[in-house]
Structure 1
């Protein structure tokens, strides 16, 4: 009847996934169908991901966040990464990317898909090196495609594919140079493979073959920005923009095959460049949803990049980005642990919500209104219920209790809220 969510939408069919997303977002389902048909909204939902609770990403919808996990050669604790996934789901992340690059990656991926109600994403090129246990130059184009198909079979909802870095864009990068060169792990692998073999990027050269796999399983293609800036010095340069133009061309080709598309965006960028870059991406990529890593707005804060990222993410999403990849305090330093992951998730969720207020997303301001109402009423239990991180709010409160229980130890009896409430009621105020 239909092959993908986009195919159904173009045919005027409203799928179960569209109905669920429309209800979650409080939008009319017919409007949502039109947005999916035009490519401005994606519903990543692999046919083999049976436990999925679908989410929409794109125009007019809440800003979603993604959490990265995965095993590596230096940190290959299988169970720990699954615990991270469970924690990410508990903390209301809408997506998890499995970036595993070592060991029993397929076993881990299948367990993750089996237990996860949230979208699962992967970067197959990471997996290829570990899966085949070969030097990069010895992996064939055929083997890259075999790994992609395995990920699709396993139920992955979206995959990052670095199809925009081809011989031409690589030449532009080499001619222009950069302070931090290529910082995308997947992008650097494809670039190195092309340099070592002398061949064209197989994902670009055989793009139609890739789309056949994605259409078969209804995998959303997340077109990776191999040439994203790794420092504010390199942002909005010729390499980044040329690749973005190519990604726009690849977007239209995917839509012709009814494959849903997201575009991945810059990693490091000065604040004043963020809004223009969001406009540029939406223009060059025809309104496709934009997925950004940060952007990190200054390069000098290792250990605090969840903050530099949240600043950039809020600005990006307020100006059109649809999907934020979280960044943790461990960015640039180590594989994050569970505590790092939690800090990154909360920071990203704050950024996403702040942006949704600015974008006028339905219901966004209501949450803040309810919190302000609880604060006016000095209703501490209600404040904790509404807090984005209830556990931390309660812990801070309990760690320093005031003499008057309806105040806090910052102001005590000088509490502005309490005294103003009393003054308005004509009640006696006792500050001493």
Structure 2
């Protein structure tokens, strides 16, 4: 890293144009001065650890394409290292902009290092998942200093952004206890933090030592993803006192991070009814000063296990159109099991659809151009172009191949009754033969 700046945000404040900024400006087709101005204000971030050599930088935030994240990693019940690496390679092939390593068991360090080495995508982690395995002792026996030591290790390994549940402080817990929920704390990292705090009767280490945490972020240029421990785990708990109290704390922490030139993403819901999504996007942007918003879903109904890639894509599209900047994928396996490769593929496709639909809704530059080209190809019955423009070309080609029509330029749904085919002929003054 250039010694004249410490983080991408610090460079922006100094008016220094980094290679990462140039790459993001090129990808997004935006003016570099506009990019720098928004980075200075924290409304755009470029997560890029100085130790992640293989990264292809991406920007997240105001006026940019909505980015997607894919969760992967090894666990005690599914610790096949190589299987997860194969999934990683497939996710990168499918152009996921970010991969979060949620590993919690086994060779977590080895997996994380290989992931960083091979990944052109941004890499995120949740350091608290790694605590027990890293120290090989019960959570209750881990010290506050050891919480930070694991963050430092992830920084050394080249992780670009980390989820830290620093908003779950003692004050937030008081609000949580006074306001009963149907599903309590459903965030894994949030529940582990809550457990440690209750057992040890101490403040959240990430909150108490937030300045020390920021120093680590500056050292490696880690983007801080402020986790939502109190995100709703059912539509019944959405937009309740606990969620909003934590969001207010995250807004305060965002300002503290920006004072030290640490880039910030704020994480959000969760499960939420459709009619609450727009107001939640407004609340986050207002309370967290325009920081990029990273949402899981939102999942808009609780009754569709096996199809939660659909429930989340519905919510994600609405959220993105109303200001969310970063969508975490959800697979058909959500709430049921660790996703396999096919689950992952379905989840990626669903979230990519949601992100693009959201970009059209918030009028991101050139977003509709992709759809325009597809519409032209459909009107021209240009199947090869349709395939090449498809969000997942492999499936589109397979469906066409599995059901061949009698008339080559139609499909087996309509055959000679194809509206595109017949209207093209009529408009050209040609005879139309439907029989």
Common fold: TM-score over 0.5: yes
Q: 1:425 & 1:47 partners in 2: Cα distance?
A: 59
Partner of 1:388: 391
SS in 1 for 2:239: coil
Alpha-carbon distance, 1:168 to partner: 1.1
Q: Does the 8 A contact of 1:103 with 1:131 survive in 2? A: no
Q: Does the 8 Å CA contact 1:123/1:161 hold for their aligned counterparts?
A: yes
* 1:203 paired residue number: 206
Could you tell me which of 295, 313, 317 is aligned with 1:314? 317
Q: Does 1:55 align with 2:58?
A: yes
The counterpart of 1:326, out of the listed 326, 329, 334, is: 329
* Range that drifts further, 106-115 or 129-138: 129-138
Counterpart of 1:261 in structure 2 is 264
Structure 1 segment 142-153 matched on structure 2, within 5 A = 142-153=145-156
Q: How does 1:223-234 map to 2 (within 5 A)?
A: 223-234=226-237
1:72-131 Cα shifts (integer Å, max 9, x gaps)? 000000001111110100111000000000011101100000000110000000000121
Partner in structure 1 of residue 284 of structure 2:
281
Q: 2:296 aligns with which of 268, 293, 296?
A: 293
Whole-angstrom distance in 1 between the partners of 2:23 and 2:401: 39
Hey, what does 1:238 align to over in structure 2?
Answer: 241
2:14 aligned with 1:24: no
- For 1:247 and 1:88, the matched residues in 2 are separated by 30
Equivalent in the alignment of 1:409: 412
Quote the Cα distance in structure 2 between the aligned partners of 1:130 and 1:316: 35
Q: CA deviation at 1:237?
A: 0.2
SS at match of 1:335: coil
Q: 2:47 aligns with which of 44, 49, 64?
A: 44
Would you say how many aligned residue pairs link Structure 1 and Structure 2? 432
Structure 1, unmatched stretches of 5+, are none
Cα drift, residue 296 of structure 1 = 0.1
Helix, strand or coil at the partner of 2:123: strand
Task: Answer yes or no: is 1:110 the counterpart of 2:113.
Answer: yes
Please tell me whether the aligned partners of residues 122 and 159 of structure 1 are also in contact (alpha carbons under 8 angstroms).
yes
Q: Distance in 2 between matches of 1:216 and 1:36?
A: 19
**Aligned residue number for residue 158 of structure 1:** 161
Tell me what 1:272 maps to. 275
**2:137 match:** 134
Once the two structures are superposed, residues 351-399 of structure 1 have per-residue CA deviations (whole angstroms, 9 ceiling, x without a partner) of 0000111111111111000000000000111100100111100110111
Q: Say yes or no: does 1:369 pair with 2:372.
A: yes
Summarize the alignment of residues 340-351 of structure 1 with structure 2, pairs less than 5 Å apart: 340-351=343-354
Mapped pair 1:68 → 2:71: yes
**Structure 2: which 5+ residue stretches go unaligned?**
none
Q: Is the 8 A contact 1:414 1:431 kept in 2?
A: yes
1:261-286, CA deviations, whole angstroms, 9 ceiling, x for partnerless residues?
A: 00000110000000000000000000
Secondary structure in 1 matching 2:320: helix
| SS at structure 2 position matched to 1:357 | helix
In the aligned structure 2, how far is the partner of 1:129 from the partner of 1:397? 50
Question: Over the residues paired in the alignment, what is the CA RMSD in angstroms?
Answer: 0.5
Q: TM-score, normalised by structure 1?
A: 1.00
CA–CA separation in structure 1 for the residues paired with 2:136 and 2:78: 17
SS of equivalent to 1:279: helix
CA distance in 2, matches of 1:312, 1:4: 33
Q: Deviations 1:174-214 (Å, cap 9, x if unpaired)?
A: 11110000000000000000000001000000000000000
State the secondary structure of the residue aligned to 1:160.
strand
